Chains A and B, each alone.
Chain A
Amino acid sequence: MSGATWEVAESCVDSLNMELVATYYKRLHPTKPELAARRIEAIGYQVGLQLAERYTRDRPRFSDHLESIKFICKDFWAEVFKKQVDNLKTNHKGVFVLQDNRFRWLTRISVDALPLAGAQNESAVAANAVRASQAAGQYLYFPCGLIRGALTNLGVPCGVSAEVTTLPACAFVVRIKV
């Protein structure tokens, strides 16, 4: 039996994502967040390479970078995050911004991981929002790696970073390397 037809509970994917972050940030590199981020990104990169291979099977080759990026925004996003990117912007100089107004993985990590609740006054709410965005940031290195891996394998060498605006919205910035 091949993985193409096998289904698992989505909570398996969520659990693994959360535990991946906990493993590298809390246990392996508690004092080196940059290193934890790099390791998690590298894991995402490997998976991205493999997914690009799997998801583009039986598909004509893309003719340019834009077509590959559109594939990421539509088909790839739909497979992995169960929706499409809401908005794609570009400066026509090799930078693309993929905006997702409701990034699925940020809607599914548990409350204790994202300190959102319990704030009383305004400043506490603001402080909480900052903390939540920071915490959310740790969960975005893996998808950044996924996107970079997939695009690289499709012939688009790039760097990918993420920005959290208002949870659960976030934007992925793709910078094509020339």
Chain B
Amino acid sequence: MSREVMEYDVVIVGGGPSGLATAIKLKQLNKDINVCVLEKASEIGAHILSGNVFETRALDELIPNWKELNSPIKTKVTNEKFLFLGKKKYLSWPTWLLPKVQQNHKNYIISLANLCRWLAEQAEALGVEIFPGFPASEVLHNENGSVKGIATQDMGLDKEGNKKDSFEPGMELHAKVTVFAEGCRGHLGKQLIKKFNLDEGKDPQQYGIGFKEIWEINENKHEEGLVMHTAGWPLDNKTYGGSFIYHAENKQIYLGYVIGLDYKNPYLSPFDEFQRFKTHPAIKKIIEGGKRISYGARALIEGGLQSLPKMFMPGALLVGCDAGTLNMPKIKGSHTAMKSGIIAAETIFEHLRDKKDLSIYEDKFKNSWLYEELHAARNVKPSFNWGLILAIIFTGIDQILFKGKLPFTLRHKHSDHETLKPANEMPKIEYPKPDNVITFDKTSSVYLTGTNHAENQPVHLHLKNPELPIKYTLDKYDEPAQRYCPVGVYEIQLENNLPKFIINSQNCIHCKTCDIKEPSQNITWVTPEGGGGPKYGNM
């Protein structure tokens, strides 16, 4: 069946910070370039989840007068703390002893979702067409292989893939340049990286899973503008991760935890580590008497420059974390994502005007502060392979003494799906039961994400081999999907005393962790019907 076609100069897949920055910059350079942004969420911002302490550098370049435009960037960082947690005690680390990249006094505590909503308003005012509720499900290619555009998801199919009464076929959007801005582990970006060998000669990409809860806390415990990070407990010395607590406006705190997906023990449950973390006396005293009002999780990029794929290909560019521009030691990716979008827009502008090759994207990137930043940051994450203590010492030397200019580059050796050890070689972990005051189970948490997928539609989590979870992964790794999924999509249930692998795909919050961590890469995340997934507010 032939689909309807629409033509644009530029189609951008994803309405996050990188995609919206690309759109805005394009319109600023030439308002006659017609630009379309597709977003899979029901509205811009509804799938955005981030800490977020925001560095304004890229926004200052993009919209210099943002302060006058009623932007949601309001809470300046006024105080900083860094704690090393032991099981009950903690050590407060003086912030002047932190590397400069981890100092935040010029930054703001924001909700990235709200920033994206505001950016979308700016983009629409410039004439960008934004379509929320339309996932790009397929890359279209010209005969010579170059990217021609994308197709949107068919809507109104039932579980078996038959057309329902409400069936609405997807449509093709063709563009002179297509920009992929899907964020970490974009499902089209992943295909393009493979098809065009964009990661050739690069280290395997590294990921983490980040959790976030928003709490409303007692006034006397709230210190608007306070940024606090922790390392250490409950994670052991060998597992990479840490927490953030940002005191935002309206007595809210943004409380979160990030764990590297290169963890080795299949019994580790990132969700339960996060819940357990909140029971530490230093943390519990902040949230006690408060109320949890939001929950969510999302995978993030940690690979840095070594793992950054080539960001251009015939007819298309990757921006933001669809490529992987997050600055890990800074724990920030929004300003770098936006900068990559700005550079992409400049590239496309010259490409359309002067027929310059899209490869100028790489030159522009290398001459930008973005490259400089990522280059200086490159050795921090891989040093954590040596364990927390050595890594901190090394990071001190690398970041404080040498400012990231050591004459060598540490490598990432493994993909995250290769790092799990067989279950019988690793200790089981007993997690405490949730108390439903400070700590919660997955069921009550998923409820807060507002996630939903129209019931009768094809499952959007594909198994390459449907037998594998029970016949191999359960035996060897005790099926870690039960634990790494932050909302309990995957379950092993007994049916007539036989284990059965259950996929509750309607609970999915589009974090992509399963697509990353499944040891045999057996799970592929594809786009569900538009508008599905979480309905995050100010995440």
Is B truly associated with A? no
- Name A's B-contacting residues (CB within 8 A): none
